[in-house]
Amino acid sequence: MASPNDLQFQEFEEAAELLSADPEASTLSLSASDNSARAGGSEDVKLDLSEDEEGEEESSELLGGQKLSGGFWTFEYYASFFNVDTVQVLDRVKGSVLPLPGRNFIKHYLRSNPDLYGPFWICVTLVFSVAISGNLSSFISEMGDPAYHYRPQFHRVTIAAVVIFLYAWLVPIGLWGFLTWRQGTERQIGGYSFLETVCVYGYSLFIYIPTSVLWIIPFEWLRWTLILVAMVISGSVLVLTFWPVVRDDTKVMAVATVATIVVLHTLLAIGCKMYFFQTAVHAPPPPPAAPTTPAIHITLTTKPH
Amino acid sequence: MAAADDASRPFAGLSDVSISEDIPVEGDISVPVGSSRRDDEYSTLDEPVKETILRDLRAVGNKFIHVLYPKRSSALLRDWDLWGPLLLCVTLALLLQGGAADTDDQGGPQFAEVFVIIWFGSIIITLNSKLLGGTISFFQSLCVLGYCIMPLTVAMAVCRIVLIGGSGTVSFAVRLVVVTASFGWSTFASTAFLADSQPANRKALVVYPVFLFYFVIGWMILTFSPSQ
């Protein structure tokens, strides 16, 4: 297992060889990274060069920059996706919660070491936190109702699992496929590998876990504020990651891509809130005596003419 | 004799050594067969059925005791078996039946759901720990995770007994305390067995899914509400 430092050292060597071999490519990547270099510093320039080399040489593989050990039928192939320490995972989670402009999540935190541990366990935790919090919130909102009998509503776990795992896997597949296709036709530099796309989507869902727990508090304005804050944070992680890649495309496609990302993310958040945290809209059933007494009262008043 | 001498000329020094043909070769060729007494120690084919069943039950009971008093011992790891986890899983799934509104969708987990959660959850946690570089084997990890469900199964039985007495706030508080204590015990017991097999900088990454697993099982137990 190579440490992250070893991987970076190798990238420098091969990038230098590429520079001497093809000066055209280097000038292109330098101008593209100049804009980001002002914000990100020199390390962004070097990483852009290595990414250019990755895109050309390993375009046929799904994992750019990852050391493929063995075929997909061996255990070591999948173990290479779990090559992270506790500190690294916590660092990535922190980066998904505090998106700073100029800090591309993939470049800054993943550093060519995307993992599957984070996305998978964040999705599992989110499934259970949404289902359990939804159950708790409906219990609290209907606690005063004497006709209410508590139900565990366990089928919601299945629904939550299907929705969240579909989102966390199908949307990155679609986005990666779309970006790769545009990269092919537009000859743009920089694109993310499939694993990096899945990784950034998985980590961006982390903010919804504390949000779903806080949704138990039964105030509507608080819930909408929380969902807005979570959507802004999570969406900005995604936008900051994908904007540098899409920016070189035509204006229409760039804006459309980013808008689609944001809209899908919004739909997931609002859909989860509407389905799992249904507020009790019904009025308490009126006591049966009430409707009859006004009628009697009316007849009493109208009778004497 | 002359032919023999001619043949043995290169070995001149040995001319006086010769094997005469009239000395019969005699001896006793017999392979000592392993006594049937040794075979009896390893062959369990002839023992009474009660003995066979009791041996497995004793092994399962021994592991239950190890879970009750979790200390760093390798007995659970070395002689893994999956009888205990199967027994506990079936008991827990059966105890979770008969809940409120079993017929419609809004009720508790079905028998198959409990089974799937426990077994697939254990398999996924085991795969996770192996992918992160753990040295424990697949079935050893399944064995440990399954046996450590025992405190939660005991808590489920206690909860059902408490629910017979009533389902008010007091019974809920009692059930909450019991389930929380057994959830903590399960997590502590399984990490006592599993933590040693992980690389030091990834221990938390392995312990968290175990925590989540027992938390979900504890949630299923706590939200069990009897049918009215």
- For residue A130, the distance in angstroms to the closest alpha carbon of chain B comes to 13
More confident of the two residues B185 and B169: B185
pLDDT for residue A210: 92
Over range B10-28, report the average pLDDT: 70
Residue written as token pair 């389905």:
A275
> How far from each other are the two terminal CA atoms of chain B, in whole angstroms?
111
Q: Secondary structure of A139-205 in the HEC alphabet? A: HHHCCCCCCCCCCCCCHHHHHHHHHHHHHHHHHHHHHHHHHHHHHHHHCCCCCCCHHHHHHHHHHHH
B99: DSSP letter: B
More confident of the two residues B193 and B60: B60
Q: Where are the alpha helices (DSSP H) in chain B?
A: 2-7, 36-42, 49-68, 75-78, 83-95, 111-131, 138-147, 150-165, 169-194, 203-222
User: What is the overall mean pLDDT for chain B?
Assistant: 81
Residues A64 and A55 sit within 8 Å (Cβ to Cβ): yes
Over range A141-148, report the average pLDDT: 74
For chain A, percent of residues with pLDDT exceeding 70: 65
pLDDT for residue A18: 57
Residues of B in contact with A76 (CB under 8 A): none
Over range A155-182, report the average pLDDT: 87
Query: Any idea what the Cα angle at residue A202 is, between residues A105 and B212, rounded to 5°?
Result: 130
Tell me: pLDDT of A27 over 60. Answer: no
More confident of the two residues B29 and A292: B29
pLDDT for residue A44: 41
| A49 lies within 8 A of chain B by CB | no
Q: Among A154, A156, A159, A209, pick the best mutation site for testing chain B contact (most B Cβ within 10 A).
A: A154
3-state SS, residue B226 = strand
| B111 lies within 8 A of chain A by CB | no
Residues of B in contact with A153 (CB under 8 A): 105-106
pLDDT for residue B156: 92
Residues A126 and A205 sit within 8 Å (Cβ to Cβ): yes
- For residue A56, the distance in angstroms to the closest alpha carbon of chain B comes to 30
Over range A188-192, report the average pLDDT: 61
Q: Among B97, B104, B106, pick the best mutation site for testing chain A contact (most A Cβ within 10 A).
A: B106
Tell me: pLDDT of A116 over 80. Answer: yes
Asked if A87's CB is within 8 angstroms of B212's CB, the reply is: no
Tokens of A275: 């389905």
pLDDT for residue A139: 84
Of A140-149, A267-276, B131-140, B212-221, the least confident:
A140-149
Over range A88-110, report the average pLDDT: 82
Over range A263-291, report the average pLDDT: 67
pLDDT for residue A291: 43
The residue count of chain A comes to 305
Each residue of B144-155: pLDDT tens digit?
Answer: 899 999 999 999
Burial B63-78 (b: 16+ CB within 10 A, else e): beebbeebeeeeebbe
Q: CA-to-CA distance for A184 and A254, rounded, in angstroms?
A: 15
Task: Pick from A129-133, A139-143, A242-246 the range whose average pLDDT is largest.
Answer: A129-133
pLDDT for residue B5: 52
Q: Among A88, A91, A116, A151, pick the best mutation site for testing chain B contact (most B Cβ within 10 A).
A: A151
Over range B72-83, report the average pLDDT: 75
**For B128, nearest residue in chain A (alpha carbons):** A117
